[in-house]
Amino acid sequence: MTARFAIYAAPGTGSADAAAVRLREQAESWLGRRMDGTRPDPRLPSGWTRAAVDEITVNARRYGFHGTLKAPFRLAEGRSVEQLEQDLERFARTGRPIALPQLRLHRMDGFFALVPGADAPELHELAAALVTGFDAYRAPATATEIARRNPDALTPRRRRMLETWGYPYVLDEFRFHLTLTDRIPPDRHGQVHDALAAWFADCLGRTIAVDALTLCTQPTPGAPFRLHSVHPLRRPADRPRACAAAAHEGTR
């Protein structure tokens, strides 16, 4: 199977949180697409055209508005999409909504993203539980997939993560971010930063809820990712924390 699947946090998708919905709508307008196939609001920052934004969001637009929790993977032999979806639904029932505190605009590795502005340990626990607990669904990375990550440029720790989990930025190397652009030339950093800061002004500094997981699929290599299913995080606040336990189980 050439299709890939990914488990994402997509604030505002399947959510009743007004701030999260506002964030999603602004991001989808900026990127020019929604992963569910419907059309976003065509508004853009003042002075920007659709063509100008498209030029700096080629890859970001393909992936859609998301924060990676378990990076894209091909299904392991003997595993089905239906099994994956059912297990993700069961997992989501054990996890409660979490928060992205004090959202801020950040430039990382040359691209712009929205990131938590304060520590978010529950977010890290959730990502670790998904990375480890769902790894049986991931087919081993091919040599081509490993090479695409440029392993020689990674730290030894990140290279081990890539070899073990198929992605270098997991567990203690996890860096949650909501990608907004591709890599931007240094001479345009100021222009793009100012446009994004104004566009997301109503969202920056806010605490944004992540109250659902999304299963997304890329049907063929290079194709845009599509929303496959939405799984609300449903655990009541007074039940034991399951995310950390799932992460522990997955590392045995």
Per-residue pLDDT at 171 exceeds 60: yes
pLDDT in tens, 5-48: 999 998 999 888 899 999 999 999 999 999 999 999 999 999 99
The model's confidence at residue 249, banded by pLDDT at 50, 70 and 90, is: very low
pLDDT in tens, 196-224: 999 999 999 999 999 999 999 999 989 99
- Report the alpha-carbon distance of residue 3 to residue 143 in Å, rounded: 17
Per-residue pLDDT at 162 exceeds 80: yes
Whether the Cβ atoms of residue 216 and residue 31 lie closer than 8 Å to each other: no
- What percentage of the chain has pLDDT greater than the value 90? 82
User: String of b and e for 197-231 (b: at least 16 CB within 10 Å)?
Assistant: eebbeebbebbbbbbbbbbbbbeeeeeebebbbbb
Q: What share of the chain is helix, strand, coil (3-state, %, to 5)?
A: 40, 20, 40
Helix, strand, or coil (residue 2): coil
| CATH no. for 4-250 | 3.90.1140.10
Written as six digits, the tokens of 171 are: 């567990």
Whether the Cβ atoms of residue 67 and residue 9 lie closer than 8 Å to each other: yes
Whether the Cβ atoms of residue 233 and residue 212 lie closer than 8 Å to each other: yes
More reliable by pLDDT, 171 or 248: 171
Task: Map out the domains of the chain as residue ranges.
Answer: 4-250
Ramachandran bin of 222, using left for φ above 0, alpha for ψ from -120 to 50, beta for the remaining angles: left
The model's confidence at residue 141, banded by pLDDT at 50, 70 and 90, is: confident
Ramachandran bin of 195, using left for φ above 0, alpha for ψ from -120 to 50, beta for the remaining angles: alpha
Q: What is the pTM of this model?
A: 0.90
pLDDT in tens, 105-119: 999 999 999 999 999
Whether the Cβ atoms of residue 173 and residue 157 lie closer than 8 Å to each other: yes
| Mean pLDDT, residues 137-154 | 89
Whether the Cβ atoms of residue 170 and residue 161 lie closer than 8 Å to each other: yes
The model's confidence at residue 236, banded by pLDDT at 50, 70 and 90, is: low
